[in-house]
Structure 1
Amino acid sequence: MGKPTGFMEYTRQTVIDRPPRERIGDFKEFHQHLDEQKRRDQGARCMDCGIPFCQSSYGCPVDNLIPEWNDLVYQGKWEEAFLRLMKTNNFPEYTGRVCPAPCETACVLGINEPAVTIKDNECTIIDRAYDAGLMQPRIPQSRTGKRVAVIGSGPAGLSAADQLNQAGHEVTVYERDDRIGGLLMYGIPNMKLDKELVERRNSLMAEEGISFRTNSNVGVDVPVQQLVDDHDAVLVATGATLPRDLPVPGRELKGVHFAMEFLKSNTKSLLDSGLADGSFIDAAGKKVIVIGGGDTGNDCIGTSMRHGCAAMVNFELLPKPARERTADQPWPTYPRLLKNDYGHEESEAVFGSDPREFSILTKEFLGNEQGELTGVKTVRVKWIKEPGERPRFEEVPGSEEVWEADLVFLALGFLGPEQQLIEQLELETDARSNVAAEYGRFVTTHPKVFAAGDARRGQSLVVWAINEGRAAAREIDRALMGVTELP
């Protein structure tokens, strides 16, 4: 696949980013595609590796036909590359932008050379397909008469809805927010995933026959039992939206917020009014501390930088990761490495240093008499790993510090799905409070109700949500029709 000698002739070249100080002036996407020849050269780097680990269990969860469309990119056969890509992935315009690319850490070339730019190649294929008019509504030729309700319009719900609609079922998607997309709409900032792309894809699915019901909170203003009675099957794809809190003294102070409070209000205000309505948590001129790493923490940094924050610090309890693979993170596993993401770059460009502080534990939030946040008290920790035991940490004596802060954003991950709907449906849950539904079958303890995505597996990646949505759709189709032809 690709050019047999391409990996020796061409070096890895990723997308071009606008300079950090320039891009924090707006909420527009900042990645820019390479020109066609350079992109074809990147496709040429895909080597004839024999066993493509990029699409194995270590790589792409949706089993993208990566070597095939890399080869087609190299040959300049863009329409064929698009058709190959759409065989396995309903939303490459999303994964090509926000996926952490486990395919690349599993790339065989990546054993001793920089991996193939698989994610960038994917994004270019789908963006060119839109530009060329190849993304057109696919109207099902016939209908089965079966009705399916999908609760939640994140990537799991939307991928399931897309598959079920193509199978001929009448699909209605219920979303409690005012716009369709779930975390694609309100969980990921606009500079990382332009919401016009989400709206464009939603419009295509609506033209194909999917019904979208916004401002419809199932279990609150939409009776859940009526939903079950009126449909032949119901899919719970509500995500894992219950945030992990930090119950330390001072948590009640004004200025301490969950990350999603910040990110959602910002995106909604941006879409509603270009931030003119003021209906968001404004970090302008504020000293900001983000507690928690990962993508969500980085998104809080990037959003705060665009507001014009006065200072930025990012606390991470875990120790500083290695820059390269270590013995306990061998190829082709997905390693935890030090990643300098866009928010870190922007903070460093403005304030002169990496905002991250590792191995640090928050002990208390400090405030004034008005109940407003003024600072954070911390202590450094030392991590200990005994053979056969889980890592643990100990506080370092004498390492207490106080950090000034006007705003704190908690980006500590999610505990699982909200329970109200699950309880009303009387569904069993697993030990982590997720809906109990076996992977591969996806049916819950209620025979008409299925579950997929983060609501079933816990907090995970967009690409895993797509995997689960597609697989759940296949099992719903099988349950309704006796057989299924869905992939």
Structure 2
Amino acid sequence: MGKVTGFKDFERQDESYIEVKERVTNYNEFTIPLSESEIVTQGSRCMDCGIPFCHSGCPLGNLIPDFNHMVYQEEWQKASWILHSTNNFPEFTGRLCPAPCEKACVLGIIEDPISIENIEKNIVERAFKEGWIKPQPPKTRTGKTVAVVGSGPAGLAAAQQLNRAGHTVTVFERDNAIGGLLRYGIPNFKLEKGIIDRRVTILEAEGITFKVNTNVGINYDINDLKAFDAIMLCGGATERRGLPTPGADAEGVVQAMDFLTQQTKVVFGEKIENQVLATGKDVIVIGGGDTGSDCVGTSNRHGAKSVTNFEIMPKPPVGRSASTPWPYWPLQLKTSTSHKEGCERNWLINTKEFIKDASGKLTALKTVNVEWKIVPGQRPELVEIEGSEKIWPCDLALLALGFTGPEKTLSEQLGLETDFRSNYKASNYQTNVPNIFTAGDMRRGQSLIVWAISEGREAARQLDIYLMGKSDLPTKENGDLPAL
């Protein structure tokens, strides 16, 4: 695999970026790709390491050394075959996945790991450019109908797999375009939406039917859904976490997903009444994850006066924490491209009050510094530091606190059991109603795009077995090699 001395001969090389002052003037992707020869060189760094732990780090079980080797050999079409054997949408994961595979890379023990994610993106982009990715409708149909609710990565993966099995698949999306959070939760500067559209065109040509502006249980009768032979629920975890803090009802306290969704719609020409804008404002983003980072990047593109980020947890170490040794996902400081565009970051800080004026508009935040008291065998306790209260000028507070679980609309109308976290209960992705299956964040809670695709694939196989008694769809342990 690879060049025997590749990792000794060559250092890791990543994509570069357009300068900050230029990229914040628009919402386009701003990476500068490596050349083909540079990608080939990066592929050569991946050698036969004995036991490739990258497989276990990847929820999809991607055959990483295999496609890296094909890139090194400049067998790009074979690399695409291998990549697509386990991953329906590498163009999404190659841009958005946090790359747990790289954190599990054996080379990462002693040096910079293989640039797996970037190689993956280059493989799929080459495949689209060369026309290797073509519609592959099934040769025969089973006569079975399947409804997929939700068109995020889990729903799209499930739909494609079920369609490949020969079932007639209809995907329902409550928004006005396909993609779920890929479409409206991820800023255009991280994923240009034409990337989604070109894949949806392939899926439509394969025979999948898409229905937008269709909110099942709201403007689409639940009994019509029950007319399908089987149902796959992939609606995501969309209940947003708020803050039970005095003044949280102030004008200017806004959920991050509302802020991001509005901006993406505006980019594509939709008119949003009373759009939330950060222009000229002191913005505070509460929450230190990817959504918080996306709010930082969007606020900078709006022309915010200042952008500040609060996180209640301690600042992670720059290097891998001893508590998360290789090959585990590391507790480690992550500085995103959005942070580098301009942001003051603060850790171990808690919002005590949203201060508003007489008209109800947000003017400031009152905070207190905190620490976590750790007692073995007990839950960590949050302790406020006396005398650390501070007032921060703030016109716009964006709540990027994650999601508490899926909405109850479908579970209540379909009679589905939920767990203590409100996720839809399922055994082998099958709910308590035998012909209803669920996958992705709706089943497992808020998670990664790569987990969503993996769940969609695995759940599709289980639904196929339910309908047909057996399935030829691949499992994570036994991928297939579709002709592209």
Task: Structure 1: state its 5+ residue gaps.
Answer: 348-353
The alpha carbon displacement at 1:23 in A equals 0.8
Residues 1:469 and 2:456 are matched in the alignment: yes
The residue that corresponds to 1:41 in the other structure is 41
Count of aligned pairs between the two proteins? 474
The alpha carbon displacement at 1:280 in A equals 2.8
Say which of 228, 242, 247 aligns to 1:245: 242
The residue that corresponds to 2:414 in the other structure is 425
The residue that corresponds to 1:457 in the other structure is 444
Does the Cα contact within 8 Å between 2:262 and 2:272 map onto a contact in 1? no
The alpha carbon displacement at 1:327 in A equals 1.8
Task: Structure 2: state its 5+ residue gaps.
Answer: 475-484
Q: Amino acid of the residue matched to residue 472 of structure 2? A: E
Give, in whole Å, the separation in 1 of the partners of 2:107 and 2:400.
34
The alpha carbon displacement at 1:279 in A equals 5.7
Say which of 473, 481, 484 aligns to 1:486: 473
Q: Amino acid of the residue matched to residue 398 of structure 2? A: F
Say which of 84, 87, 107 aligns to 2:85: 87
Q: Amino acid of the residue matched to residue 51 of structure 2? A: I
The residue that corresponds to 1:227 in the other structure is 225
The residue that corresponds to 1:53 in the other structure is 53
The alpha carbon displacement at 1:278 in A equals 6.1
Residues 1:391 and 2:380 are matched in the alignment: yes
Post-superposition CA distance 1:400-429 (Å, at most 9, x none): 000001101000110000001110101000
The residue that corresponds to 1:272 in the other structure is 269
The alpha carbon displacement at 1:365 in A equals 0.1
The alpha carbon displacement at 1:71 in A equals 0.6
Give, in whole Å, the separation in 2 of the partners of 1:277 and 1:471.
38
Please state whether the residue corresponding to 2:341 is helix, strand or coil. Answer: helix
Please state whether the residue corresponding to 2:309 is helix, strand or coil. Answer: strand
Say which of 371, 385, 399 aligns to 1:382: 371
The residue that corresponds to 2:207 in the other structure is 209
Post-superposition CA distance 1:153-186 (Å, at most 9, x none): 0111100000001111100000000000001101
Does the Cα contact within 8 Å between 2:158 and 2:460 map onto a contact in 1? yes
The residue that corresponds to 1:32 in the other structure is 32
Say which of 407, 432, 443 aligns to 1:445: 432
Give, in whole Å, the separation in 1 of the partners of 2:285 and 2:320.
27
Give, in whole Å, the separation in 2 of the partners of 1:292 and 1:177.
26
The residue that corresponds to 2:347 in the other structure is 358
Say which of 146, 154, 157 aligns to 1:156: 154
Please state whether the residue corresponding to 1:312 is helix, strand or coil. Answer: strand
The residue that corresponds to 2:164 in the other structure is 166
Does the Cα contact within 8 Å between 1:269 and 1:279 map onto a contact in 2? no
Give, in whole Å, the separation in 2 of the partners of 1:22 and 1:279.
27
Residues 1:402 and 2:380 are matched in the alignment: no
Distance 1:420 1:72, change over 3 A: same
Give, in whole Å, the separation in 2 of the partners of 1:208 and 1:271.
26
Give, in whole Å, the separation in 2 of the partners of 1:203 and 1:89.
18
Give, in whole Å, the separation in 2 of the partners of 1:241 and 1:325.
31
Post-superposition CA distance 1:370-392 (Å, at most 9, x none): 11000100000022222333332
The residue that corresponds to 1:129 in the other structure is 127
The alpha carbon displacement at 1:281 in A equals 1.4
The residue that corresponds to 1:345 in the other structure is 340
Please state whether the residue corresponding to 2:365 is helix, strand or coil. Answer: strand
Post-superposition CA distance 1:277-297 (Å, at most 9, x none): 666311111110000011000
Give, in whole Å, the separation in 1 of the partners of 2:12 and 2:465.
43
Post-superposition CA distance 1:69-100 (Å, at most 9, x none): 01111111110000100000000000000000
Task: Calculate percent identity across the aligned residue pairs.
Answer: 53
Give, in whole Å, the separation in 1 of the partners of 2:397 and 2:306.
12
Alignment of 1:113-124 (within 5 A): 113-124=111-122
Residues 1:71 and 2:58 are matched in the alignment: no
Post-superposition CA distance 1:259-303 (Å, at most 9, x none): 101011111111125xx7666311111110000011000000001
Please state whether the residue corresponding to 2:404 is helix, strand or coil. Answer: strand
Give, in whole Å, the separation in 2 of the partners of 1:382 and 1:62.
37
Q: Amino acid of the residue matched to residue 70 of structure 1? A: N
The residue that corresponds to 2:257 in the other structure is 260
The alpha carbon displacement at 1:248 in A equals 0.6
Give, in whole Å, the separation in 1 of the partners of 2:65 and 2:233.
34
Residues 1:330 and 2:310 are matched in the alignment: no
Distance 1:132 1:262, change over 3 A: same
Instruction: With the length of structure 1 as denominator, give the TM-score of the two structures.
Output: 0.96
Residues 1:314 and 2:303 are matched in the alignment: no
Please state whether the residue corresponding to 2:268 is helix, strand or coil. Answer: helix
Give, in whole Å, the separation in 1 of the partners of 2:222 and 2:73.
51
Post-superposition CA distance 1:95-150 (Å, at most 9, x none): 00000000000000000101100000000000111111111111211111100000
Give, in whole Å, the separation in 1 of the partners of 2:265 and 2:380.
40
Give 4+ residue runs of structure 1 displaced > 6 Å after superposition.
none
Please state whether the residue corresponding to 1:209 is helix, strand or coil. Answer: coil
CA RMSD for the aligned pairs? 1.0
Give, in whole Å, the separation in 2 of the partners of 1:435 and 1:391.
28
